[in-house]
Amino acid sequence: MSTHPLPPFPAPTTTPTGVRAGRSLSALICAVAVGAVTACAPSEGAVAPSPAAAVAPASPGAGASRGTMGAPGIGDPDFPSDGNGGYDVQHYDLRLSYDPASRKLAGSATIEAKAVQDLTSFDLDLHGLAVSRVTVDGGAAGFTRNKDELVIEPGRRISNGDRFAVAVDYSGVPEPMRDSANLGKYGFISTPDGAFVTCEPNGAKTWFPSNDHPSDKATYDFQITVPEGLTAIANGEMTGTPQTKAGKTTFVWREKHPMASYLATMTTGKFQVRTGTSDKGLPIYAAVADSFHGSLDQLFTETGKITDYWSTVFGPYPFSSTGGVIDDYAAGYALENQTKPIYGGFSPEPTIIAHELAHQWFGDSLSIGRWRDLWLNEGFATYAEWLWAEHAGQYTADSAFRRYYANAADPMWNYPPGTARASDLFGSAVYNRGAMTLHALRREIGDDKFFPLIREWTNAHRYGTVTTQEFIALAERVSGKNLKELFDAWLFQPRRPAPIT
Ligand code: TRP
Ligand code: ZN
């Protein structure tokens, strides 16, 4: 049917992970570990939980109750100590100062939260760094450290429903997370001239005390001070012009829309910046490390064009600006930091920009409540790559689907993407079989139901937390069809589904 050639996307057989990159991090890890691409094939017994048996999503306060002690985890079955229970964060006010020469970060974080149970103690997540002082509503509070948990004892009991503000003063040399979740290094990564800060899934705690789990979203204010001549880039928009005093410049950023902690950034270094607006009038902030100066205009232009296009396909853009950052740290991967995806050491192809910008809807505006539902982020963003390629006249989504389907030996058939594994969260099944799930759905219900469904999905859950079950239910409602078998075969069975028609 297609007049297009076969898709020129990277051959699936040489790309064992889905992580979108010039060069894949997990692929590197696998290659180092075993020296073969198959090292990334699922190694655990293939389990196929039925969708109906799925556990409730993690939600603020959902962690196991311990009397009036807030739980040390928010209740994610696969990441039991991530996030915390007993409260719900509304806002982070982060005042940060970073000195690349000494690699020292000094921070003062004020966290505004609401108790969802009575609390005599509660936790924040913090990895390393020395805490010098904690206050709750201005009064000195006790605190202890236990691994990555900062346990806080306010002087008085906080009652269920109370709003409270906890302030934490801290400093030290941030250490990124290493090898957790099969991801290599992530979190706060120092560079010669600053820092490359990419925190998925749980690296926000490497630079600020947080409820570090996507099921507790909050708004953010950042005030970041760096040596004069450097740029500090965070989420949302800059409020006012940077102020320089005594050789240091302070940048003030505000993200006024709810954001998951892993999408927060304070990327700093020598950057060239271009600002302006897209054709539809959306503000754009593009920044590139000096060595990528030749990519600044293309990053700026493609980012505006793609954001505008996605707003016609996925529904209104959820945030107040768009953008992108190319740093010279050779991570080889990209991350969908809210309002400003970051590209680690490469000039991204438009399809990669399309992937990261699609995440602004899928992952950033609509966030998952537990990591095993990650296909709702990566499957959608990968399908967006195919849609972009089709829009740009490169290859069709259908040809991409068929090319993956044709490889019966692909290890992704053993990995049901509807249950992303903590030990291999960003595997190729979550990305590619996740995208194929959407294509199978589209073919089953037709374009006239599929695209309205996607827009209804982003509209109904804007800034919220979503589950796979909610998507299946909405797909059934919009299409008027029973889709349980389709989703079960594509998301939850450890085998290649029957061909689509
Ligand atoms: N979500 C990223 C992507 O588009 C991949 C990713 C996962 C990542 N964890 C990360 C990137 C940590 C940087 C840091 O596909
Ligand atoms: Zn992605």
**Token pair 């069809």: residue:** 481
If DSSP codes are grouped into helix, strand and coil, which group holds residue 125?
Answer: strand
Ligand 1, atom nearest to 331 Cα: 13
Residue nearest atom 14 of ligand 1, based on CA coordinates: 198
Alpha helix positions (H), 218-360? 296-313, 350-358
At 5, is the pLDDT very low, low, confident or very high (cuts 50, 70, 90)?
Answer: very low
Ligand 1, atom nearest to 262 Cα: 12
What does the pLDDT look like over 231-242, one tens digit per residue? Answer: 999 999 999 999
Q: Ligand 2 centre from 338 Cα, in Å?
A: 12
Whether 183 lines ligand 1, by a CB cut-off of 6 Å, is yes
Q: Ligand 1 centre from 485 Cα, in Å?
A: 30
Per-residue pLDDT for 456 more than 50?
yes
Q: What's the CA gap between 372 and 421, in Å, rounded?
A: 6
22-31, 210-219, 393-402 — which is least confidently predicted? 22-31
Per-residue pLDDT for 46 more than 60?
no
At 147, is the pLDDT very low, low, confident or very high (cuts 50, 70, 90)?
Answer: very high
201, with CB counted inside 10 A (0-12, 13-18, 19+), is: buried
Using only the alpha carbons of the chain, give its radius of gyration: 22
Backbone angles phi, psi at 200, to 5 degrees: -70, 135
Q: Indicate the top mutation candidate among 29, 186, 385 to test ligand 1's pocket, ranked by most ligand atoms within 8 A of CB.
A: 186
Q: Ligand 1 centre from 262 Cα, in Å?
A: 10
Alpha helix positions (H), 223-341? 296-313
As separate numbers, helices (DSSP H) first and strands (DSSP E) second, the chain gives 10, 24
Per-residue pLDDT for 41 more than 60?
no
Among residues of the chain, what percentage have pLDDT more than 70?
87
Q: What's the CA gap between 191 and 268, in Å, rounded?
A: 9
Q: What is the pLDDT of residue 16?
A: 34
Per-residue pLDDT for 320 more than 80?
yes
Ligand 1, atom nearest to 183 Cα: 9
Per-residue pLDDT for 153 more than 90?
yes
Q: Ligand 1 centre from 336 Cα, in Å?
A: 7
- Identify whether the C-beta of residue 368 lies closer than 8 Å to the C-beta of residue 74: no
**Whole-angstrom distance between the N-terminal and C-terminal Cα of the chain?**
13
Q: What is the pLDDT of residue 404?
A: 98
Q: Ligand 2 centre from 200 Cα, in Å?
A: 10
Residue nearest atom 9 of ligand 1, based on CA coordinates: 200
Judged by its nearest atom, the ligand closest to the C-alpha of residue 198 is: 1
Q: Ligand 2 centre from 48 Cα, in Å?
A: 24
Q: What is the pLDDT of residue 66?
A: 66
Q: What is the DSSP letter of 7?
A: P
Q: What is the pLDDT of residue 65?
A: 57
Q: What is the pLDDT of residue 13?
A: 31
User: What residues contact residue 477 under an 8 Å CB cut-off, 6+ apart?
Assistant: none
Q: What is the pLDDT of residue 183?
A: 79
- What DSSP string describes 56-89? PPP-TT-SPPBTTBPPSS---TTSTTSS-SSEEE
Mean pLDDT taken over the chain: 90
Per-residue pLDDT for 136 more than 80?
yes
Whether 425 lines ligand 1, by a CB cut-off of 6 Å, is no
Q: What's the CA gap between 13 and 271, in Å, rounded?
A: 36
- What DSSP string describes 389-454? HHHTTS--HHHHHHHHHH-TT-GGGGS-TTS-BTTBTTBHIIIIIHHHHHHHHHHHH-HHHHHHHH
Whether 311 lines ligand 1, by a CB cut-off of 6 Å, is no
Per-residue pLDDT for 453 more than 50?
yes
Residue nearest atom 5 of ligand 1, based on CA coordinates: 19
User: What residues contact residue 366 under an 8 Å CB cut-off, 6+ apart?
Assistant: 376, 457, 458, 461, 462, 464, 465, 466
Q: What is the pLDDT of residue 180?
A: 75
User: What residues contact residue 387 under an 8 Å CB cut-off, 6+ apart?
Assistant: 313, 354, 397
User: What residues contact residue 144 under an 8 Å CB cut-off, 6+ apart?
Assistant: 150, 151
Torsion of CA 285, 394, 380, 341, to 10 degrees: -20
Whether 20 lines ligand 1, by a CB cut-off of 6 Å, is yes
What does the pLDDT look like over 177-225, one tens digit per residue? Answer: 997 777 789 999 999 999 999 999 999 999 999 999 999 999 999 999 9
Q: What's the CA gap between 38 and 14, in Å, rounded?
A: 9
What does the pLDDT look like over 352-361, one tens digit per residue? Answer: 999 999 999 9
**Token pair 């493609």: residue:** 302
Per-residue pLDDT for 442 more than 70?
yes
Q: What is the DSSP letter of 121?
A: B
Q: What's the CA gap between 8 and 394, in Å, rounded?
A: 8
What does the pLDDT look like over 251-282, one tens digit per residue? Answer: 999 999 999 999 999 999 999 999 999 999 99
Q: What is the pTM of this model?
A: 0.90
The arithmetic mean of pLDDT across residues 416-436, rounded, is 96
Residue nearest atom 8 of ligand 1, based on CA coordinates: 335
Q: What is the DSSP letter of 501?
A: -
Q: Bridge partners of 135?
A: 140, 167
Q: Ligand 1 centre from 473 Cα, in Å?
A: 28
**Token pair 């346990």: residue:** 151
At 9, is the pLDDT very low, low, confident or very high (cuts 50, 70, 90)?
Answer: very low
Alpha helix positions (H), 314-374? 350-358
Whether 200 lines ligand 1, by a CB cut-off of 6 Å, is yes
At 20, is the pLDDT very low, low, confident or very high (cuts 50, 70, 90)?
Answer: low
Q: Ligand 1 centre from 117 Cα, in Å?
A: 34
Whether 198 lines ligand 1, by a CB cut-off of 6 Å, is yes
Q: What's the CA gap between 468 and 454, in Å, rounded?
A: 13
Per-residue pLDDT for 78 more than 90?
yes
Q: What's the CA gap between 71 and 121, in Å, rounded?
A: 9
Q: What is the DSSP letter of 310?
A: H
Q: Ligand 1 centre from 268 Cα, in Å?
A: 19
